[in-house]
Amino acid sequence: MGMAEEPERLIAEDGTRLDGRKPDELRPLRIQAGVLKRADGSAYLELGSNKIIAAVYGPRELHPRHKQKPDRAVIRFRYNMAPFSVDERKRPGPDRRSIEISKLSKEALEPALFTEYYPRTAIDIFVEVLQADAGTRCAGITAASVALADAGIEMKDLVAAVAAGKVDGHIVLDPMYYEDGYGEADVPLAMMPKYDAITLLQMDGNMTEDEFKEAVRLAKKGCKIIYREQRRALKRKYGGE
């Protein structure tokens, strides 16, 4: 997977990371709401080198009708990586990874939506990863949440998401590609900050219980910063509180 040779160490003596971040620091984050004309809601997000577009269509009448739910909206989510989003061209189209990420992203967002307000409809969420540098499932959820709000869909709260990881024995926030690739573990987390409610929690790799707790603490802290940026992006478009 076109990754440069492993550097001797990923974290310096004083805790500084390869890109100069402290262990509890996010990559630079930029969010813009309402970037697509034809979608009902949309958002563009950059987190370090990740570049992601989210588009929302709906609520709109669901066809075929037998797929409608009489008491709520059906949420559909498609995560996709552009062929040019990674070093070596990614084969276009869905693979096992993107199907799995689509499913868990939908499950991370659904608790935040008042689906019962929109019976017999579908809400379609599309996440397109234009450039990937680890943490894209979380960045996609963050962007999709802003796109849902931009579409005017009633929500209990925004969902913010970010991963924490274990790298060189250190627990760090928001691992980039090198750290993810050579790291020991990765813990993606999504939450509704207003309710302190986690809607996605995964762990890939190995950690002790204490390390896992620290990873969750760091990721939650990261989500709160991301949440502020999500709200700022919406305020920039819609003004006021």
The residues that touch ligand ADP, with contacts defined as CB under 6 A, are 1, 86, 88, 90, 97, 132-137, 177, 180, 186
Buried-exposed string 200-225: b where 16+ CB fall within 10 A, e elsewhere: bbebeeebeeebbebbbebbbebbeb
Minimum distance, C-beta of residue 230 to ligand ADP, in the bound complex (Å): 18
Using the minimum distance from each CB to ligand ADP, give the nearer residue, 86 or 130.
Answer: 86
Minimum distance, C-beta of residue 186 to ligand ADP, in the bound complex (Å): 6
Query: What phi and psi values does residue 170 have, to the nearest 5 degrees?
Result: -100, 145
Using the minimum distance from each CB to ligand ADP, give the nearer residue, 78 or 90.
Answer: 90
Minimum distance, C-beta of residue 116 to ligand ADP, in the bound complex (Å): 30
Using the minimum distance from each CB to ligand ADP, give the nearer residue, 129 or 149.
Answer: 129
Minimum distance, C-beta of residue 136 to ligand ADP, in the bound complex (Å): 3
CB 134 within 8 A of CB 175: yes
* Three-class secondary structure of residue 59 per DSSP: strand
Using the minimum distance from each CB to ligand ADP, give the nearer residue, 92 or 152.
Answer: 92
Minimum distance, C-beta of residue 86 to ligand ADP, in the bound complex (Å): 3
Using the minimum distance from each CB to ligand ADP, give the nearer residue, 57 or 137.
Answer: 137
- Cα–Cα–Cα angle for 15, 136, 5, rounded to 5 degrees: 55
Alpha carbons 4 and 13: distance in angstroms, whole number: 22
- For the beta carbon of residue 84, count every other beta carbon within 10 angstroms: 11
